[in-house]
Amino acid sequence: MENGGVLLEAEKDYQKQYRLSSWWIESRAGVKRLGLILFACADLLLIAFVAWTFVDVYVVSYADEQRAVLELAAYGQGDLRAYSSATAADDLEAGKATAVLSTTGTYDLYATLTNPNPDWWAEFAYAFTSSAGTTDQADGYILPGAEKPIIAYLVESLAAPRSVSLVISEVVWHRVDHHVTGDYAQWFDDRIGFDISNASFESVELDGKTIGRVSFTVKNNTAYSYYEPAFTATLLRASSVVGVTGTSLSDLVSGEEQNVTINWFGTIPNVSKVEISASVNPFDILSYKPLEGETTEDTRTRVQLRGRR
Protein backbone atom coordinates (compact mmCIF):
# COMPACT_ATOMS: atom_id res chain seq x y z
CA MET A 1 0.00 0.00 0.00
CA GLU A 2 2.87 2.34 0.85
CA ASN A 3 4.58 1.54 -2.46
CA GLY A 4 1.43 2.47 -4.34
CA GLY A 5 1.37 5.91 -2.68
CA VAL A 6 4.98 6.58 -3.57
CA LEU A 7 4.37 5.63 -7.19
CA LEU A 8 1.32 7.89 -7.32
CA GLU A 9 3.32 10.88 -6.07
CA ALA A 10 6.10 10.21 -8.60
CA GLU A 11 3.54 9.99 -11.39
CA LYS A 12 2.04 13.34 -10.36
CA ASP A 13 5.50 15.02 -10.39
CA TYR A 14 6.22 13.50 -13.80
CA GLN A 15 2.93 14.76 -15.20
CA LYS A 16 3.58 18.25 -13.84
CA GLN A 17 7.05 18.33 -15.39
CA TYR A 18 5.68 16.93 -18.64
CA ARG A 19 2.99 19.63 -18.86
CA LEU A 20 5.58 22.37 -18.16
CA SER A 21 7.95 21.01 -20.79
CA SER A 22 5.13 20.69 -23.30
CA TRP A 23 4.03 24.27 -22.66
CA TRP A 24 7.58 25.62 -23.14
CA ILE A 25 8.01 23.71 -26.40
CA GLU A 26 4.69 24.96 -27.71
CA SER A 27 5.07 28.58 -26.41
CA ARG A 28 8.80 29.24 -26.86
CA ALA A 29 8.37 31.00 -30.17
CA GLY A 30 5.60 33.19 -28.75
CA VAL A 31 7.63 34.12 -25.68
CA LYS A 32 10.55 35.06 -27.93
CA ARG A 33 8.27 37.23 -30.09
CA LEU A 34 6.89 38.92 -26.95
CA GLY A 35 10.40 39.69 -25.74
CA LEU A 36 11.32 41.21 -29.10
CA ILE A 37 8.15 43.29 -29.06
CA LEU A 38 8.88 44.59 -25.54
CA PHE A 39 12.50 45.40 -26.51
CA ALA A 40 11.29 47.23 -29.64
CA CYS A 41 8.79 49.21 -27.58
CA ALA A 42 11.48 50.23 -25.10
CA ASP A 43 13.77 51.23 -27.94
CA LEU A 44 11.01 53.28 -29.55
CA LEU A 45 10.27 55.01 -26.25
CA LEU A 46 13.97 55.88 -25.83
CA ILE A 47 14.18 57.24 -29.37
CA ALA A 48 11.00 59.24 -28.81
CA PHE A 49 12.41 60.68 -25.56
CA VAL A 50 15.66 61.73 -27.23
CA ALA A 51 13.78 63.26 -30.14
CA TRP A 52 11.46 65.17 -27.84
CA THR A 53 14.39 66.43 -25.76
CA PHE A 54 16.14 67.64 -28.91
CA VAL A 55 13.00 69.39 -30.14
CA ASP A 56 12.32 70.91 -26.72
CA VAL A 57 15.86 72.24 -26.28
CA TYR A 58 16.43 73.59 -29.79
CA VAL A 59 12.87 74.51 -30.84
CA VAL A 60 10.25 74.75 -28.11
CA SER A 61 12.34 76.06 -25.17
CA TYR A 62 15.31 77.52 -27.03
CA ALA A 63 14.40 81.16 -26.38
CA ASP A 64 13.78 80.51 -22.67
CA GLU A 65 17.07 78.61 -22.34
CA GLN A 66 19.02 81.41 -24.00
CA ARG A 67 17.37 83.95 -21.72
CA ALA A 68 18.29 81.88 -18.66
CA VAL A 69 21.91 81.54 -19.80
CA LEU A 70 22.19 85.29 -20.37
CA GLU A 71 20.70 85.99 -16.95
CA LEU A 72 23.17 83.61 -15.30
CA ALA A 73 26.04 85.26 -17.17
CA ALA A 74 24.85 88.70 -16.11
CA TYR A 75 24.46 87.67 -12.48
CA GLY A 76 27.87 85.98 -12.60
CA GLN A 77 29.50 89.15 -13.96
CA GLY A 78 27.88 91.13 -11.18
CA ASP A 79 29.25 88.72 -8.57
CA LEU A 80 32.68 88.76 -10.19
CA ARG A 81 32.63 92.56 -10.31
CA ALA A 82 31.64 92.71 -6.64
CA TYR A 83 34.39 90.23 -5.69
CA SER A 84 37.00 92.08 -7.75
CA SER A 85 36.01 95.40 -6.19
CA ALA A 86 36.15 93.94 -2.69
CA THR A 87 39.62 92.44 -3.18
CA ALA A 88 41.19 95.11 -5.43
CA ALA A 89 44.08 97.20 -4.18
CA ASP A 90 43.31 100.66 -2.81
CA ASP A 91 45.05 103.65 -4.37
CA LEU A 92 48.46 104.76 -3.17
CA GLU A 93 48.29 107.76 -0.85
CA ALA A 94 50.66 110.68 -1.42
CA GLY A 95 51.40 112.98 1.50
CA LYS A 96 51.92 116.70 1.33
CA ALA A 97 54.85 117.58 -0.92
CA THR A 98 57.37 120.22 0.02
CA ALA A 99 60.58 121.82 -1.22
CA VAL A 100 63.71 122.01 0.96
CA LEU A 101 66.84 123.97 0.17
CA SER A 102 69.72 121.84 -1.10
CA THR A 103 72.53 124.00 -2.52
CA THR A 104 72.42 127.56 -3.72
CA GLY A 105 69.82 127.76 -6.49
CA THR A 106 68.64 124.15 -6.11
CA TYR A 107 65.94 122.49 -4.04
CA ASP A 108 64.99 118.93 -3.20
CA LEU A 109 61.32 118.06 -3.62
CA TYR A 110 60.05 115.65 -1.00
CA ALA A 111 56.83 113.76 -0.22
CA THR A 112 55.86 110.56 1.53
CA LEU A 113 53.97 107.79 -0.24
CA THR A 114 51.87 105.22 1.61
CA ASN A 115 50.64 101.84 0.40
CA PRO A 116 47.53 100.99 2.50
CA ASN A 117 47.32 97.44 1.12
CA PRO A 118 48.73 94.59 3.22
CA ASP A 119 48.54 92.08 0.33
CA TRP A 120 49.75 94.17 -2.62
CA TRP A 121 53.01 95.80 -3.60
CA ALA A 122 53.30 98.23 -6.49
CA GLU A 123 55.65 99.53 -9.14
CA PHE A 124 54.95 103.01 -10.45
CA ALA A 125 56.25 106.08 -12.23
CA TYR A 126 56.39 109.46 -10.52
CA ALA A 127 57.23 113.10 -11.08
CA PHE A 128 56.90 116.34 -9.14
CA THR A 129 55.13 119.41 -10.45
CA SER A 130 55.70 122.86 -9.00
CA SER A 131 56.17 126.48 -9.95
CA ALA A 132 59.66 125.39 -11.07
CA GLY A 133 58.17 123.04 -13.68
CA THR A 134 57.82 119.26 -13.88
CA THR A 135 60.68 116.95 -12.97
CA ASP A 136 61.79 114.06 -15.16
CA GLN A 137 59.71 110.94 -14.68
CA ALA A 138 61.34 108.24 -12.55
CA ASP A 139 60.39 104.72 -11.50
CA GLY A 140 59.78 103.46 -7.99
CA TYR A 141 58.20 100.71 -5.97
CA ILE A 142 56.50 100.40 -2.60
CA LEU A 143 56.02 97.31 -0.46
CA PRO A 144 52.79 96.17 1.21
CA GLY A 145 51.67 98.43 4.06
CA ALA A 146 54.78 100.60 3.70
CA GLU A 147 55.41 104.33 3.84
CA LYS A 148 58.47 105.64 2.05
CA PRO A 149 59.98 108.99 1.04
CA ILE A 150 59.83 110.01 -2.61
CA ILE A 151 62.42 112.61 -3.62
CA ALA A 152 63.52 114.60 -6.65
CA TYR A 153 66.98 116.00 -5.96
CA LEU A 154 68.57 119.26 -7.14
CA VAL A 155 65.63 120.96 -8.84
CA GLU A 156 66.89 124.33 -10.10
CA SER A 157 64.90 127.34 -8.96
CA LEU A 158 65.80 130.92 -7.97
CA ALA A 159 63.25 130.78 -5.15
CA ALA A 160 61.62 127.99 -3.20
CA PRO A 161 59.22 126.19 -5.58
CA ARG A 162 55.55 126.71 -4.77
CA SER A 163 52.51 124.45 -5.28
CA VAL A 164 54.62 121.30 -5.08
CA SER A 165 52.73 118.12 -5.92
CA LEU A 166 53.70 114.47 -6.32
CA VAL A 167 52.15 112.84 -9.39
CA ILE A 168 51.93 109.02 -9.44
CA SER A 169 51.21 107.20 -12.71
CA GLU A 170 51.59 103.84 -14.48
CA VAL A 171 50.88 101.88 -11.30
CA VAL A 172 51.40 98.12 -11.66
CA TRP A 173 50.02 96.07 -8.78
CA HIS A 174 51.42 92.71 -7.65
CA ARG A 175 49.50 90.53 -5.20
CA VAL A 176 51.59 88.88 -2.50
CA ASP A 177 51.59 85.12 -3.01
CA HIS A 178 51.17 83.80 0.52
CA HIS A 179 51.87 80.28 -0.75
CA VAL A 180 55.41 81.56 -1.28
CA THR A 181 55.78 84.01 1.62
CA GLY A 182 53.58 82.50 4.31
CA ASP A 183 53.10 85.24 6.90
CA TYR A 184 54.28 88.33 5.01
CA ALA A 185 55.40 90.31 8.08
CA GLN A 186 57.68 87.46 9.18
CA TRP A 187 58.87 86.88 5.61
CA PHE A 188 59.76 90.58 5.32
CA ASP A 189 61.55 90.69 8.68
CA ASP A 190 63.58 87.63 7.71
CA ARG A 191 64.86 89.48 4.64
CA ILE A 192 65.01 93.18 5.53
CA GLY A 193 66.08 92.89 9.15
CA PHE A 194 68.54 95.79 9.05
CA ASP A 195 69.64 97.26 12.36
CA ILE A 196 70.27 101.00 11.86
CA SER A 197 71.86 102.88 14.76
CA ASN A 198 73.91 105.95 15.72
CA ALA A 199 72.21 108.21 13.17
CA SER A 200 73.51 111.78 13.47
CA PHE A 201 74.07 115.04 11.60
CA GLU A 202 77.00 117.29 12.37
CA SER A 203 79.18 119.99 10.89
CA VAL A 204 82.72 119.01 9.91
CA GLU A 205 85.71 120.70 8.28
CA LEU A 206 86.70 119.43 4.83
CA ASP A 207 89.42 121.15 2.77
CA GLY A 208 88.96 124.34 4.73
CA LYS A 209 85.18 124.39 4.26
CA THR A 210 82.45 123.58 6.73
CA ILE A 211 80.06 120.95 5.45
CA GLY A 212 77.33 118.83 6.97
CA ARG A 213 77.72 115.10 7.42
CA VAL A 214 75.13 112.40 8.04
CA SER A 215 76.50 109.31 9.79
CA PHE A 216 74.89 106.03 10.77
CA THR A 217 75.70 102.36 11.26
CA VAL A 218 73.82 99.57 9.51
CA LYS A 219 74.06 95.87 10.26
CA ASN A 220 72.52 93.16 8.10
CA ASN A 221 71.00 90.72 10.59
CA THR A 222 69.43 88.54 7.91
CA ALA A 223 70.63 85.39 6.18
CA TYR A 224 70.53 87.23 2.84
CA SER A 225 73.09 89.41 1.10
CA TYR A 226 72.13 92.32 -1.16
CA TYR A 227 73.39 94.36 -4.05
CA GLU A 228 73.09 98.16 -3.81
CA PRO A 229 70.79 98.64 -0.82
CA ALA A 230 69.66 102.28 -0.78
CA PHE A 231 69.29 104.52 2.27
CA THR A 232 67.50 107.85 2.64
CA ALA A 233 68.32 110.32 5.42
CA THR A 234 65.52 112.71 6.38
CA LEU A 235 66.71 115.68 8.43
CA LEU A 236 64.14 117.05 10.85
CA ARG A 237 63.80 120.13 13.01
CA ALA A 238 61.08 119.14 15.43
CA SER A 239 58.51 117.64 13.03
CA SER A 240 59.48 119.72 9.98
CA VAL A 241 61.61 118.31 7.17
CA VAL A 242 64.59 120.61 6.63
CA GLY A 243 66.70 118.40 4.40
CA VAL A 244 66.88 115.06 2.59
CA THR A 245 69.77 113.11 1.19
CA GLY A 246 70.57 109.55 0.32
CA THR A 247 73.16 107.00 -0.72
CA SER A 248 73.49 103.38 -1.73
CA LEU A 249 76.10 100.78 -0.81
CA SER A 250 77.76 98.53 -3.35
CA ASP A 251 76.55 95.54 -1.35
CA LEU A 252 75.61 94.45 2.16
CA VAL A 253 76.55 90.90 3.06
CA SER A 254 74.71 88.77 5.60
CA GLY A 255 76.00 89.55 9.08
CA GLU A 256 78.02 92.55 7.88
CA GLU A 257 78.11 95.89 9.69
CA GLN A 258 79.02 99.10 7.85
CA ASN A 259 79.55 102.67 9.03
CA VAL A 260 77.99 105.00 6.46
CA THR A 261 78.66 108.71 5.94
CA ILE A 262 76.94 111.11 3.54
CA ASN A 263 78.45 114.56 3.01
CA TRP A 264 76.12 117.55 2.80
CA PHE A 265 77.53 120.42 0.69
CA GLY A 266 74.52 122.71 0.81
CA THR A 267 73.39 125.21 3.38
CA ILE A 268 73.71 123.50 6.75
CA PRO A 269 70.25 123.30 8.35
CA ASN A 270 69.47 123.26 12.05
CA VAL A 271 68.74 119.56 12.66
CA SER A 272 67.28 117.99 15.79
CA LYS A 273 66.67 114.47 14.47
CA VAL A 274 67.85 112.20 11.66
CA GLU A 275 65.65 109.42 10.31
CA ILE A 276 67.24 106.69 8.15
CA SER A 277 65.12 104.47 5.95
CA ALA A 278 66.37 101.48 3.95
CA SER A 279 65.11 100.56 0.50
CA VAL A 280 65.50 97.01 -0.80
CA ASN A 281 62.90 95.19 -2.86
CA PRO A 282 62.75 91.60 -1.57
CA PHE A 283 60.51 90.66 -4.53
CA ASP A 284 63.25 91.59 -7.02
CA ILE A 285 65.59 88.66 -7.69
CA LEU A 286 68.31 91.06 -8.81
CA SER A 287 68.45 92.61 -5.32
CA TYR A 288 69.97 89.44 -3.88
CA LYS A 289 73.68 88.78 -3.87
CA PRO A 290 74.36 85.04 -4.10
CA LEU A 291 76.21 83.45 -1.25
CA GLU A 292 79.71 82.16 -1.98
CA GLY A 293 79.38 78.96 -4.02
CA GLU A 294 75.73 79.66 -4.79
CA THR A 295 74.43 80.45 -8.28
CA THR A 296 72.09 83.33 -8.98
CA GLU A 297 69.52 80.90 -10.35
CA ASP A 298 69.32 79.13 -6.96
CA THR A 299 68.06 82.31 -5.30
CA ARG A 300 64.86 82.07 -7.34
CA THR A 301 63.64 79.50 -4.86
CA ARG A 302 63.61 82.23 -2.24
CA VAL A 303 61.67 85.05 -3.93
CA GLN A 304 59.05 85.68 -6.56
CA LEU A 305 60.05 86.49 -10.10
CA ARG A 306 60.64 90.17 -10.64
CA GLY A 307 58.44 92.52 -12.61
CA ARG A 308 59.48 95.91 -13.89
CA ARG A 309 62.15 97.46 -11.71
Phi, psi of 43 (to 5 degrees): -65, -40
The one-letter amino acid code at 1 reads: M
Helix, strand, coil proportions of the chain in percent (round to 5)? 35, 40, 30
Give the pLDDT confidence of 237-260 residue by residue, as tens digits: 999 999 999 999 999 999 999 999
- pLDDT for res 78: 53
Residues whose CB falls within 8 Å of the CB of residue 33, separated by 6 or more in sequence, listed in order: none
Q: Buried b / exposed e across 269-295, counting CB within 10 Å, b at 16+?
A: bebeebebbbbbbbbbbebbbeeeeee
- CATH 2.60.40.3230 residue window(s) in the chain: 91-176
Give the pLDDT confidence of 114-171 residue by residue, as tens digits: 999 999 999 999 999 999 999 999 999 999 999 999 999 999 999 999 999 999 999 9
As a whole number of angstroms, the distance between CA 137 and CA 245 comes to: 19
CA angle 97, 237, 197 (to 5 degrees): 100
Give the pLDDT confidence of 76-112 residue by residue, as tens digits: 555 545 545 556 899 999 999 999 999 889 999 999 9
As a whole number of angstroms, the distance between CA 276 and CA 231 comes to: 7
The domain over range 91-176 is classified in CATH as 2.60.40.3230:
yes
- Return the CATH number of the domain spanning residue range 183-309: 2.60.40
Q: What is the pTM of this model?
A: 0.68
SS3 165: strand
